[in-house]
Chains A and B, each alone.
Chain A
Amino acid sequence: MALTPYAQALGIEIDHDEAGEPVLRVDYSNRVAGRPGFLHGGAMSGLMEMAGFAALQAELARRGETMRLKPVNIQVEFMRGGTEQVTYAKGMVTRAGRRVALVNAEAWQDDRAKPIALAQIKVLLIPAE
């Protein structure tokens, strides 16, 4: 799976594969910094959105479908401030029909059981010509 230019420029990488779903990571740097000492909410959202798209692409690949993905909307809940350390994110496809998909994503840092943010992403699926 290829990450977008934005994801690569931000420093997002594929960390590992977890039961078929890619886990993404971004190291802490000035590029993702918000208020002093904390991760920017927008960077967190960008990471979760990328993880959501990656999980959806993996699901479509398993089905043997090639689709163009068009984001419809994203709802993000910020639950904890992200601190100056590695951040991970993983997406989970809740429902992928023929025309629209709903994907959940979560972001965490050193404790997987304490996610820092959740996202719900809706994506329009357009059959590739």
Chain B
Amino acid sequence: MSDKPPSILPPGTRFDPSLAARMMTRHGHGGWLGIRYHDHGEDWVELALPWREDLVGIGAGLGDMGVLASGPIISLMDNATSMSVWTKSGNFVPHATLDLRVDYMRAATPGQTVIGRGECYKLTRTISFIRGVAHDGDPADPVAHVIGTFMATHGPYL
């Protein structure tokens, strides 16, 4: 009864973030930031953002020199949560971020790689609900929490 999801994957295959990340993390903004695949499960994806001198932001003053800017963390979490949606859906359908809220718990430790874990906790035909955590080594001591939604733009997720 429903139109088939417009996945661009070959028939019978599911979206695999470990394969897709090879391409997605090489080009564009994610590629420039140096974002890499880290791990994934049924409805979550972890990406890694290695520390780099030119990605440093305002921190909170001279005492915090070398703190990663918040912009790259937003991008990391946008990418990780986006991929978690395709991972849960299995279909690689075009979608757009509707909104994203990022709470910064603390400054990321200078020199440390930040791991962004994105999870799709609910999928409907058109909207996906995501949340995520960024940490720099200890998941129990996060750098940031995120929550947001995506919308399938050219056909349903399911």
Answer yes or no: B29 CB below 8 A from chain A CBs: yes
Size of the chain A interface, CB-CB below 8 angstroms: 37
Answer yes or no: B110 CB below 8 A from chain A CBs: no
20 A-B pairs in the complex with CB atoms less than 8 angstroms apart: A5-B54, A5-B69, A6-B56, A6-B69, A9-B55, A30-B28, A33-B29, A34-B29, A41-B74, A41-B97, A42-B72, A42-B75, A42-B76, A45-B71, A47-B71, A49-B70, A73-B102, A74-B101, A74-B102, A76-B74
Q: Specify which chain B residues have a CB less than 8 angstroms from the CB of A74 in the assembled complex.
A: 70, 74, 101-102
Q: How many A-B residue pairs have CB under 8 A?
A: 115
Q: Specify which chain A residues have a CB less than 8 angstroms from the CB of B68 in the assembled complex.
A: 6
Answer yes or no: B9 CB below 8 A from chain A CBs: no
Answer yes or no: A35 CB below 8 A from chain B CBs: yes
Answer yes or no: B155 CB below 8 A from chain A CBs: no
Answer yes or no: A101 CB below 8 A from chain B CBs: no
Which residue of A50, A72, A76 contacts B103 across the interface (Cβ within 8 Å)? A72
Task: Compute how far the CA of A77 lies from the CA of B70 in the bound complex, rounded to whole angstroms.
Answer: 17
Task: Compute how far the CA of A73 lies from the CA of B135 in the bound complex, rounded to whole angstroms.
Answer: 16
Q: Which residues of B contact A (CB under 8 A)?
A: 27-32, 53-58, 60-61, 68-72, 74-76, 78-79, 94, 96-104, 107
Answer yes or no: A115 CB below 8 A from chain B CBs: no
| Chain A min CB distance to B8 (Å) | 12
Q: Specify which chain A residues have a CB less than 8 angstroms from the CB of B101 in the assembled complex.
A: 73-76
Q: Which residues of A contact B (CB under 8 A)?
A: 4-10, 30-35, 40-43, 45-47, 49-50, 53, 68-78, 81, 126, 128
**Beta-carbon contact of A5 and B72 below 8 Å:** no
Please name 5 further chain A to chain B contacts, defined as beta carbons within 8 Å, in addition to the given A34-B28, A46-B75, A126-B60, sorted by A numbering.
A6-B56, A42-B72, A42-B75, A46-B69, A72-B104
Q: Specify which chain A residues have a CB less than 8 angstroms from the CB of B79 in the assembled complex.
A: 42
**Beta-carbon contact of A73 and B104 below 8 Å:** yes
**Beta-carbon contact of B60 and A46 below 8 Å:** no
- A126 and B61 in contact (CB under 8 A), knowing A31-B32, A34-B28, A43-B29? yes
- A9 and B71 in contact (CB under 8 A), knowing A33-B29, A41-B78, A74-B101? no
Task: Compute how far the CA of A29 lies from the CA of B62 in the bound complex, rounded to whole angstroms.
Answer: 31
Task: Compute how far the CA of A45 lies from the CA of B79 in the bound complex, rounded to whole angstroms.
Answer: 13
Task: Compute how far the CA of A61 lies from the CA of B53 in the bound complex, rounded to whole angstroms.
Answer: 28
**Beta-carbon contact of B70 and A40 below 8 Å:** no
**Beta-carbon contact of B103 and A32 below 8 Å:** no
Q: Specify which chain A residues have a CB less than 8 angstroms from the CB of B61 in the assembled complex.
A: 68, 126, 128
